[in-house]
Amino acid sequence: MDSDDAVCISRIAHGDHHALGKLYAQYRPSLYRYLWHYLHGDDCLVEEVLQDTFLAIWRAAAAFRGEARVATWVFRIARYSASHARRRPQKAMLQTVSLSDVEENEDFLVPVGHEERTLTRLALHDALARLTDKQRAAVLLVFVHGFTSEEAAEILGVPLGTVKSRLHAARALLANDPALQHSQEVNS
């Protein structure tokens, strides 16, 4: 897969639009999910950053030296694009709904029979929301997107030890949460 990706990057470097389309189709789903968490569910901003990312790839393809996996390089560009986008003035980001918000407003849980599932979904959403942005980014790269800790460090532009610290902090925060244990039982 990665050698195919490298060929794709080489073609992009030579101005091949179809190769860019192929890379886009391949990486969009995983990049979208990664950016969606990083940008707090702001779909419009995610789309903007995706465009920025692939524009940057189009411009930088000739500079790709193959020292890292293409996936690592692509995610690193996306991470920089997202960091830059978050610093731009923009409309208010969507607010994350927390489990405690919903528990205070029981009308939100009206559909009978879906209650347990809704609570489970919100508990999971709440769990990721309780991590810091930096912890969440590391956890998603390693446990969802299949990067090693070392690759995650490269993508995030921090030392390996920093990624490990963030992962350990996330584990300590979430792994023993009783509400999440319950959610896992319901979901399994």
Partner 1 sequence: MNSEFTCGQCRDALPDYVADTLAHTVRPLVERHLDGCDACQHEYAQWRTLADLTHQADAQTPEASVQSTASTW
| Distance in angstroms (rounded) separating the CA atoms of residues 27 and 30 | 6
| Distance in angstroms (rounded) separating the CA atoms of residues 103 and 113 | 16
| Distance in angstroms (rounded) separating the CA atoms of residues 54 and 22 | 11
Dig out the tokens for 188 from the structure. 């399994």
Q: How far is the CB of 19 from partner 1 (least distance, A)?
A: 10
Closest Cα partner for 154 from 37, 70, 86?
70
For residue 20, state whether it binds partner 1 (rule: CB under 8 A).
yes
Q: How far is the CB of 17 from partner 1 (least distance, A)?
A: 7
Evaluate whether 57 touches 23 at the Cβ level (below 8 Å). yes
For residue 149, state whether it binds partner 1 (rule: CB under 8 A).
yes
**Footprint (CB under 8 A) of partner 1, residues 37-96:** 37, 43, 54
For residue 167, state whether it binds partner 1 (rule: CB under 8 A).
yes
For residue 147, state whether it binds partner 1 (rule: CB under 8 A).
yes
Count CB-CB contacts under 10 A for residue 188. 5
For residue 174, state whether it binds partner 1 (rule: CB under 8 A).
yes
Which residues of this protein are in contact with partner 1, per CB under 8 A?
17, 20-21, 24-25, 28-29, 32-33, 36-37, 43, 54, 121, 124-125, 127-128, 139-140, 142-144, 146-149, 164, 167, 170-171, 174-176, 180-181, 183-184, 187
